[in-house]
Amino acid sequence: MKVAVVKYNAGNICSVDYALKRLGVEAVITADKEELQSADKVIFPGVGEAETTMNHLKATGLDELIKDLRQPVLGICLGMQLMCRYSEEGGVDCLNIFDVDVKRFVPQKHEDKVPHMGWNTIGQTNSKLFEGFTEEEFVYFVHSFYVPTCDFTAATTDYIHPFSAALHKDNFYATQFHPEKSGKTGEKILTNFLNLCR
């Protein structure tokens, strides 16, 4: 199985690569069109700022390439947000794979800290990414922007208010949290993704 990780100006590519290596998978980290199109699975990671990253994707043609992929694709954190329609971070139009906007967290009371950082539970899971889950599991988040619950929501988390912890549409899967930093639960999610059929 060929697994490709999209290479662009994202901050967590190495940690995704290490997590895959722990699962016995040697991924190719690439921005090459043919390599991405021929991969069995594609991971679209991301730590960074939405507007800057979208400008880079557009300048390199990766924006159209990612939208046209037909194999299972997993967006992570900023990767998930960039797969949405629009982000309030920089006021930028994104890939519009998921027809929903990314919002900024607004604290409602003194103890609400932004970014939402650390371990939190995911619930209401309804995607093959979460096959074998029998209860709420803890995963690791770091984000100041969120995707509201919507028709594509595949898991939810509550911080300040409920939001989408994961999304799914056709061959596109995405997590707001970092499976590569989420211990055994994250490994299970990555394994489920790797086991998906085309």
- Please give the pLDDT value at position 135: 80
Residue range 29-41, pLDDT digits in tens: 999 999 999 999 9
Q: How far is CA 103 from CA 27, 33, 92, 153, 159, in A?
A: 32, 31, 12, 15, 13
Residue range 143-168, pLDDT digits in tens: 999 999 999 999 999 999 999 999 99
Assess contact for 20 and 188: CB atoms under 8 A: no
Distance separating alpha carbons of residues 17 and 44, to the nearest angstrom: 12
Element (H, E) at 63: helix 62-68
Q: Average model confidence (pLDDT) for the chain?
A: 95
Question: What would the two tokens of residue 42 be?
Answer: 């594609």
Distance separating alpha carbons of residues 42 and 101, to the nearest angstrom: 23
Name the percent of the chain lying above pLDDT 90: 91
Distance separating alpha carbons of residues 99 and 140, to the nearest angstrom: 25
Residue with tokens 């190495």: 14
Residue 72: asked if its preceding bond is cis (omega within 30°), the reply is no
Average pLDDT on 130-145 reads 92
State the DSSP string of 96-111.
-SEEEEEEE----STT
Assess contact for 109 and 159: CB atoms under 8 A: no
Q: Specify the pTM.
A: 0.96
User: Would you please indicate which residues are annotated as catalytic (active-site) residues?
Assistant: 77, 178, 180
Residue range 76-131, pLDDT digits in tens: 999 999 999 999 999 999 999 999 999 999 999 988 999 999 999 999 999 999 99
